């Protein structure tokens, strides 16, 4: 199968499988798993934070960050497109009594500081307490520049807010900006990283922050049922993902450009090439195309894509240029058959 649906679909490498098989383990709820402890210690240091926590998913890492930063009755500012507003089942509100205050994202994915300022509530019993700004980098494949990160830091400091970065794909941002990851991390109080997306680990995310924040987040992790036992099995693969795979993201980004350019040559498809900054391509198909039918026909040729228009296509470790050539060939065949019918 050639799977363009997401960068979460990668299979663990041989080195990961070996590391998982050989991992030293213990009960992580007791703090006894040496492989988890080593990963957390290393990851905190590597990203310039005092402390780190390994957890099961990016959704959980974001939720625990919100729970550690905010009290019941607090609110966090975020984008309408923010994953931790739109795509996490409303967890902050449902599970933590924390209210999101979304703001429209600008076209480049940023949040306008004027609009954010207007959304900060006065200290008055009518309002939730605004305590946190949560931003996302990358957001829908777009990169927030370092200058924006610095402005967000200034904005939050001036307004006495904490700053969380949903960095599910922050390594894609670092790769696209051609900077070390710490150039991005330096501006935020906490950051989540998905290890199971472009970095290719089978399971796991990290939350990074101060010692006090991670201590609180660990408490909440247990409360939401996220305390894991011999988690060294998956932490072993996560460490390899962090050490070996950031350097490979540039290839995914090059492949995304290659894919976007090839798609753009098809008369029924259009892609805004200037929006292809990392590993995501959004392809708009002509209205005459039956997307459901197209998806089924491609599936019969062992190609998986999402049923949506615009269609998001994501490049990752398990997609090569040859796979992209194969996809374009099969897509061309399907579209041609469609025209004849």
Ligand X SMILES: *Cc1c(COP(=O)(O)O)cnc(C)c1O
Considering the complex, state which of residue 10 and residue 205 has its C-beta at the smaller distance from ligand X: 205
**The residue to which tokens 């080195």 are assigned:** 15
Work out how close the CB of 225 gets to ligand X at its nearest, in angstroms, rounded to a whole number.
Answer: 14
CB atoms within 10 A of CB 201: 24
Of residues 199 and 335, the one with the C-beta less far from ligand X = 199
Q: Looking at beta carbons only, is 268 or 277 nearer to ligand X?
A: 277
Q: Is 166 in the site for ligand X (CB under 6 A)?
A: yes
The answer to the question of residue 245 lying near ligand X (CB under 6 A) is no
Residue 83 interacts with ligand X (CB under 6 A): yes or no: yes
Residues ≥6 apart with Cβ < 8 Å to 321: 255, 258
Q: Does 295 bind ligand X (CB under 6 A)?
A: no
Give me the torsion for CA of 244, 192, 317, 43, rounded to 10°: 10
The residue range among 42-50, 143-151, 166-174, 299-307 that interacts with ligand X, by the rule CB under 6 A, is: 166-174
Beta-bridge mates of residue 99? 75
- Say whether residue 58 binds ligand X (CB under 6 A): yes
62 binds ligand X (CB under 6 A): yes
Scan residues 194-233 and list those touching ligand X (CB under 6 A). Answer: 194, 196, 205
Closer by beta carbon to ligand X, 54 or else 285: 54
Q: Which is nearer to ligand X, 58 or 246 (CB)?
A: 58
Distances in whole angstroms, Cα of residue 151 to Cα of each of 136, 156, 185, 208, 252: 14, 9, 14, 21, 29
User: Shortest Cβ distance from residue 136 to ligand X (Å)?
Assistant: 5
What are the φ and ψ backbone dihedral angles of 142, each rounded to 5 degrees? -95, 150
Based on CB atoms, which residue is closest to ligand X, 162 or 203? Answer: 203
Could you tell me the smallest distance in angstroms from the CB atom of residue 29 to ligand X? 21
Minimum CB separation from ligand X for residue 203, in Å?
9
Q: How many residues does the chain have?
A: 341
Residue 28 engages ligand X in binding (rule: CB under 6 A): no
E strands of the chain, at which residues? 2-3, 51-55, 74-79, 99-103, 129-136, 162-166, 190-194, 205-209, 269-271, 280-285, 303-304, 311-314
The least distance separating ligand X from the CB of residue 337, rounded to whole angstroms, comes to 34
CA count, 13 A, side-chain hemisphere, 267: 7
For residue 270, say if its preceding peptide bond is cis, omega within 30 degrees of 0.
no
Contact positions vs ligand X (CB under 6 A)? 57-59, 62, 83, 136, 166, 168-169, 194, 196, 205
């Amino acid at each position: 199968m050639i799977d363009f649906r997401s960068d979460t679909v990668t299979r663990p490498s041989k080195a990961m499988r070996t590391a998982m098989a050989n991992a030293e383990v213990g009960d992580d709820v007791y703090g006894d798993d040496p492989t988890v402890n080593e990963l957390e210690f290393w990851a905190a240091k590597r990203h310039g934070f005092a402390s780190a926590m390994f957890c099961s998913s990016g959704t959980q890492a974001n939720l625990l960050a919100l729970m550690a930063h905010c009290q019941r009755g607090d609110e966090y500012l975020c984008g309408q497109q923010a994953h931790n507003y739109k795509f996490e089942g409303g967890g902050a509100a449902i599970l933590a009594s924390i209210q999101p205050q979304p703001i429209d994202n600008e076209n480049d994915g940023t949040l306008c500081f004027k609009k954010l300022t207007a959304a900060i509530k006065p200290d008055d019993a009518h309002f939730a307490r605004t305590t946190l700004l949560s931003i996302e980098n990358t957001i829908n494949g777009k990169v927030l520049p370092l200058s924006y990160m610095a402005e967000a830091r200034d904005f939050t400091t001036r307004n006495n807010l904490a700053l969380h970065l949903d960095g599910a794909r922050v390594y894609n941002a670092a790769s696209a900006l051609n900077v070390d990851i710490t150039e991005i991390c330096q501006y935020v109080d906490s950051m989540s990283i998905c290890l199971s997306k472009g970095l290719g680990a089978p399971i796991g995310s990290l939350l990074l922050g101060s010692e006090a924040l991670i201590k609180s987040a660990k408490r909440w992790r247990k409360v939401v049922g996220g305390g894991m036992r011999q988690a060294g099995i998956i932490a072993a693969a996560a460490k390899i993902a962090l050490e070996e795979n950031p350097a490979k993201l540039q290839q995914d980004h090059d492949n995304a450009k290659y894919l976007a350019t090839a798609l753009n040559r098809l008369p029924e498809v259009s892609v805004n090439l200037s929006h292809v900054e990392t590993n995501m391509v959004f392809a708009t198909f002509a209205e005459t195309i039956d997307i459901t039918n197209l998806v089924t026909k491609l599936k019969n040729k062992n190609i998986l894509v999402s049923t949506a228009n615009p269609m998001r296509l994501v490049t990752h470790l398990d997609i090569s240029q040859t796979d992209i050539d194969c996809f374009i060939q099969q897509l061309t065949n399907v579209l041609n058959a469609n025209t004849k019918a």
